[in-house]
Structure formats: structure tokens, C-alpha cells
Chains A and B, each alone.
Chain A
């Protein structure tokens, strides 16, 4: 099958998938016995009329099926509705998407730039002390909850005053020149990027090491060595190319997570990202916001998978797109 047809087919397949995802998400959210207006209702100073107004504004006074139809109809017209926290969901998402993307891209960049070389190094120098050190670091990274690492780094920031404590910009951000602004954002990004890189590093580094080791045991590697090829050619030309396939699939998943954000890390570090926004939305049953964010996540996952498949095709000509 030619590539463009493959892509079109996959995109067409995604449409019913997204529909089913939206239906399931909507039903589950509706079934949750959460009152979206609880904070208004528990406030003695708020009158019944205000609550009725708010229900009308959010469409909560209509039956769930009608609400779903309104929601999906709006979605088809490109309208994501309004949030219970005020303002349009689209604007809320746009405001946060940039921040999450910034954090995501830098994290992915750091993770991969560190994980691939160390993974290769660890595979080649198996059982040496540096490999063991990487193993320990990976084990810590895999088992340590992100919020714990975030907190430890926050404590470091509090005590040393070297880094800002959470957030993305300082209050004087808009009074700085461009260089100052870049420095400010970079300083704020150090902790979240470190946390997410450290945690993400483990998986990719282990995967790289494992699959390279497997390939290094293969017959053709032995043959190549027997032929008298230099060790560098054996590893980088023959072994690595074959070992990279599982990592491409991982890259697809990484792409999917670029926009879903890291809710826990974002919350602990007061980072203005999509993850924190969505988490807050789920807790207060902010239907439009949560639905939009779930749909965005699903679309990104589908796109990421497609992206990985296409990339695989380029990397490994043996794979066919049937």
C-alpha cells in the first residue's frame, strides 16, 4: 500500500474511534455523582437564582443525551464550549498548550539526547561500573514518584535560593528585555525538566540497552566481527540500526504525551500546563474542559501512533504497511 493511502486510511479509521472515545468519556463523566456547582451551592451568600443562571449557562439543566448532542454539534462547528471556571475552553486550552508544549519538547529532547548515548554505552560496556551506575539511576528513576523528586528539588530551590520556586515566569517578567526573559523562563524550567527527564530517562535508556544487547548477540553481528569489520562499524552501522525499532514506537507515545502534560508534576510545581488544568477540571466535573482535553489527548495518541508507524517504515524498509 502506498504511504499516502495508508495515512488517509488511518485518519479515516480514527474518526469512529474518536466518536467512541467521546461517548465513553462523556458517559463516565456524567455517571460520576459530582456536582459541578458544589462550590457555589456550599456558599451561603449565593442565591438560588444565581445557581439556576449558572446551570442555564452551562446547559446543566438539560438531559444528558441532549447535553451530549449539543456538545458534539458544537465540536463539529469548532466550538469547544465554555468552562465552569469562566471563559471559553478553547482559549483556556490555547493559553496552556504553549506552556505544556514547551516543557514537553525540552523534556523529550533532553531525555533522548541523554538516554540513547548512555543506553548504547551501557550495552557495549555491559557489567562495567558505569553500566551498573546507570542501572541504579534507572531503577531510582523508574521507582521514584515524580512529585517526590519535584518536592526534593523544590526544597533545594527554597534553601539555596538558586532557582525560582515553581511557576513559569517571575512577576517582573514583562519588565525584562528578551535575554532576561529567556533566562527567567529557563530558570523556571530547570526543575520541571529535570524531574520529567530523570523519570522518563530510565525507560528509554533501559530499552536502548536491552534491544542493543539483543542485537549484539545476533548471528550477523558475529559474522560482521568475523569479517574483520571495525568495532565502530559493527555497532553503529549494523547493530544500532536494527536495535532502534522499538524506540521508534516509544517515540510515538512520547509525541502523544507532549500535550497531555504531567498533571502531578505541574501541580506540585505550580506549572501553568494542560495537565494541571485538566486535573482541576476533572475534580470539579468541568465537562467541556475535560472532554476537550480528553479528545485532544486521544487525537494526539492516534497521531503519535501514526507518526511512529510511518517513521518505522522509513527506518526499516522490511516493514510493510499492510
Chain B
């Protein structure tokens, strides 16, 4: 909390905010205060380390600039090597050889995740980050993305080729692959996974929709026991990344696909017997203790070896503690009950404490750059009537403001993003202006910033027909500009952001009524009742594939929140009032998806970001900084910004090589 005050001195208008923030959730404040009091005795300050100029001068510099220089870069360890060996029965096995240093076997790595724990252990019906994270420890796909080069490399596959017309994908599996129950992994499993499980929509049907190209599911054919061929009607770039989906054990799941579809979701659910799980990844579920933890053990059949040809993973166990919130995670880390605090667990407000303790405790903080999640302000641009009562979703007056490009641009220029980052995120964040987050390899870096410029904002407003009388803003019809701003309650960060937005927009003469509401209510408003005016929200993004944002950006998207068209009874969304720039964005996504030519894809996705930048349907605010804190006893920890998963997997992309360093005797 003292950090909050510390910075507020330079922004006196936010002192009250700092107090409000600190006392709003008294218990968070208490943890912070007590930890701070405890650790203030220690020498070495976070600010001296990360932000040398803050403590020396009273000018608020850009903290992110100094953070940028400390981004951790793990050196590229080289490519995986394919090893062909014969097992004791004389059968040929093809194994990947890990790239990291030699480690020691044994030990249990304990990590934690906050929330209610996994919802299922069935990898193909998982729809939440927690379950998917666990699934990614237990299952592997044909290919994966290299965390350093962002290129696809074969995983269960030995190699793959793409035909010159970019419509045929041929995969060759490695020889001698086995499921954890000893059954071989063959082309039949691949064909079953894509051709039956996903094509028919078993489990989480999103997988089917992701792979569907223009309404048609690609065909998959077995060539021989180890070779499969996929065929798409047109070239479709996101297709390849979707082929990283986990391959399913046909010999276990096939009987289920002949039964009613609803039974599939109940299979391998959280009440299942862990011993029945059959996996292909480095770990296998051992025990689930609800509300406490998930325990996984090494899969002895895992098809990867280290540089001495010893079978990985090094770790004997992988334990995920389920804790209610990030504060408890932090306490458990201090108490050495967990070995690692992963990204998304180190919040901006904790960063200072964590960094400070690095000197006295045996761990290291890794700065992995901006997060792919985005935080934004949006206005309800809907111009339609509610068919039920023939009333406009948004009244005509407000409609005319929100749909006025100058209005949104002026709002964007009125926001002091750096001040938000300094006060709310304690300097641990990045200003954000582009639709693709700065973490994305497709981020359009050419787009300049939208700096706070109140004069420019005022000019834009007068261009838009607004006038300011006695510090109050009126539109051309003499209506006072006033609207309600929602965000989800209980999130102190967003709370503070909204109070600051209220402040910034007041300078333009706008009256903003801020109202925090429950997250589930908020989603009901933006996605169903459309009864909202302005909202501050966050969405997760993608670092590698901009087309993953199609749900948000395409005018018929399910999350096209700034102007949500509601689905008909059959779930289809039809659009007949798309703005010209919405149509152009639709085209950018369609074209960007149907070519595999990277420069061309960049061109289309740059263009969509330019439109978003000019039209400001989402007024982007900031991106968090990804920090992880890891015990020094852990070897081979090589996080990269491109390999940050959700859930328990987090930054542990090379989990099979992670090991505990034992002290030399």
C-alpha cells in the first residue's frame, strides 16, 4: 500500500484513489501491509533495481521502459534430435532427445492455481483454462509450436509436409509410440481424434468450429499405420496450429462415441478413477483431492529422452495446489509450500514485494514481457431495436454519441494510460493502443500511440458537433453527455481503472456514472440483454495466431461485443447493418486466414489493426507484465514469452526436462 501512496504523491488527485483501493478490500491491504512491514527491514529495494530513476527524482518516468530492458531471454537450445533405438523386445522406437542440460531424476514439483480447480480430466471436453492446462501435461498433439522460433515442429509426428497448393498436410508418426497403458499410438488414433471425436463435436465443440473452413470440416485419411493426410478445400492458415490438438486414445474412447453424445462429457470427469486415464504426455493423473490439489505422476511410456538417453520426465511427481486466490498463492510461496509462482499469479501490486524478497529468499524473478491479455473500454455501438418491445437497445441520443468516430477518438485521447499503469499496476504494465497485444508476433508496431492530449480531444469533440459549456459537455441537440460505465465488481484493479477513467473524462466535460457489477451479470448484459452503455473489460489474446480473435472482430462473431448481433434460435448470427469498416475487418480476417504466406498475412492483419486504431471500437488501455518467480532449486527452467500457457502448465513448456537441483554432498 505504501507503494500506492508513494506514487500518488506525484499525482495528488489520485491519493484518494490509493486509499480507496487499499481499503476497498481490506484484507488485501492487510497482507500487503504486513508483508511490507515484515520485509521493510530487508536491505535492497525493488525500485532501485527495476526503476533506478524513480527513487532518485520526483518525475514519473516510464516504468515500462526500464522494465523492457530486463526482459528475460532464455538462449535458444537448438533443435530436437530424433533418436532411433531398439527396446528390449527388439522393437524400433523413435524418441525425441531433449534440448536442455542434464538433470537429476526424482522429486515433486509443486505449483498452484487459483480458482475452483479443474472441471474435468477429459482433455476433449475441457473448456476452462484449468482443465486444459492439466490436459496439456497429459496429452500431446501431432505438432507443437517452438517457444523460441514460433515455428511448428513435429511432436508425436516425426515429420510433416504441406503440399504446394497448401491444401494437403501429410503427417508421419514416430515409430514405437505408446499410450501409458502400453497400447501403440498409430494413425488410427489420429484419424479417430479428428475424423470422429472432433468432427462430430464430442466434448468441447469449439474444436470442431476452429477446424471448420468455410463451413466444411477438413477430411482426414489414413495412408498407412504411421501416416495420415489432411485435406482442406482452401488454404487455411489457422488450420496448422489447430493440429496441435491432443490425440485421443481410440481403444478407450471409441465405444463412447457410439453412445449418446452427452455421456462423453461425463467420461473422465472430476469424479473418475484416475487410474483409468490413458495418456500420451509426460505426466499422468494420480490423485485428485477436491478443493486441495491435483497430483500427477511421471508417465513411464513418455517418448522423450535426455542427452544420456534416459527416459524423461525427470520429475517423479507434479502437484497442483488449488487455492482460492492469488494472495494465498503468494503466502504459500513465501512459506516454500510451492516452488513456483507462475505468470498471472504475480500481480502488479505484488511485483514489488516479490522482487524485493528475491534478495533474501532463494528464488529468481523472470520478466517475460507484456501479457497477451488486453484491457479496454468500449461503448455500445448497437443501432438496432429490440424485436421484443420495438425499443432501441441504446437510446437514439447516446447512439449518436457512441457511433460518432470523433467521440471515441476524443475519449481515447483523454485517457492517461501511463498514469493508470503507475498507480494501479504499480508501474508493472504496458500502455496498449493496438488490437493485437504487443506480445503478439502480428502486432502492428507502426501504429503510433494515442497519447493523452486534452486539447486534441477537445478539438475532436468540437469536430464531432459537441460543445463544452461551463465545464459540461453537450451534443448538438443540447443533451448533456452522460453515461454509465460498468465493470466487474470485486476486481480492485478494474475498479481503480474506472475511477481514473471517470476522472479523465470529466476533464472533457463528460459525466460518467461508474457502477461495478458482478462478472456474470456483466456478461449477461454485453452478450444477451445488450443493456449497457460503456464497459471496461479484458480479453485474452493470442501471441501467435491473430485469427483466434475472429470471434471478437468479425461482425457475426459471438464476442463482437461493441456491436453484438444476437444469435437466432438456431445459434446462427446474421448481419445486415455492418459498417463499411466492419466489413473491411471481416475481409482482413477472411483473407488473412486463407493464405499461408506470412508477409501477406501480416499485411491483412496490419490493415485490420489500422482500422481498429482509427475507429477505436475498443479503446485499449494497457497490458499486464508477465512475471514469474521460481525457486533456484529448479533446473532447466527456460521460460519464453511465446510459450505461456494457461492453467498449471504456465511457463513450463519443457516440463519433461525440469528437475530439482540437489546440493553436492
Contact = CB atoms under 8 A, between A and B. Distances in A.
Interface string A259-289: 0000000011011110011001001110000
A86 B292 contact: no
Interface stretch (A3-11, A147-155, A192-200, A221-229): A147-155
Interface string B417-436: 00000000000000000000
B540 A43 contact: yes
A96 B290 contact: yes
A284 B520 contact: yes
A44 B571 contact: no
A192 to B, nearest CB: 13
A104 interface: no
A270 B521 contact: no
A174 B209 CA distance: 42
A247 interface: no
A85 B120 CA distance: 8
B30 A151 contact: yes
A278 to B, nearest CB: 12
Interface stretch (A62-70, A108-116, A160-168): A160-168
Contacts of A36: 520
Contact of A272 (B289, B295, B528, B552): B289
Contacts of A168: 292
B552 A270 contact: no
Interface string A30-59: 001111101111111111111111101100
Interface in B546-602: 548-549, 551-552, 558-559, 567, 571, 573
A272 to B, nearest CB: 3
A96 B206 contact: no
B295 A47 contact: no
**Which size bracket describes the interface of A in this complex?**
35 or more
A91 interface: yes
Interface residues of B, number: 73
A57 B119 CA distance: 14
B653 interface: no
B209 A57 contact: no
**Chain A CB within 10 Å, residue with most, of B26, B265, B520, B523:** B520
A303 interface: no
B interface: dominant SS: mixed
Contacts of B282: none
Contacts of A27: none
A276 B27 contact: no
Given A44-B549, A50-B205, A57-B262, A151 B520 contact: no
A217 interface: no
A35 B291 CA distance: 23
A174 B287 contact: yes
A48 B520 contact: no
A157 interface: yes
A42 B127 CA distance: 12
A301 B485 CA distance: 42
A303 B524 CA distance: 39
A165 B328 contact: yes
Contacts of B131: 86
B271 interface: yes
B399 interface: no
B205 A165 contact: no
A19 to B, nearest CB: 28
Interface of A: 32-36, 38-54, 56-57, 85-88, 91-92, 95-96, 99, 147-148, 151-152, 154-155, 157-159, 161, 164-169, 171-172, 174, 267-268, 270-273, 276-277, 280, 283-285
Given A40-B128, A44-B551, A151-B27, 18 more contacts: A33-B525, A35-B523, A44-B549, A46-B206, A48-B209, A49-B208, A85-B119, A86-B118, A148-B26, A148-B27, A154-B331, A155-B331, A158-B335, A161-B335, A167-B293, A169-B292, A171-B319, A283-B518
10 contacts: A50-B204, A51-B558, A85-B119, A147-B27, A151-B34, A155-B31, A158-B334, A165-B337, A267-B324, A268-B27
3 nearest interchain CB pairs?
Answer: A272-B291, A38-B523, A86-B119
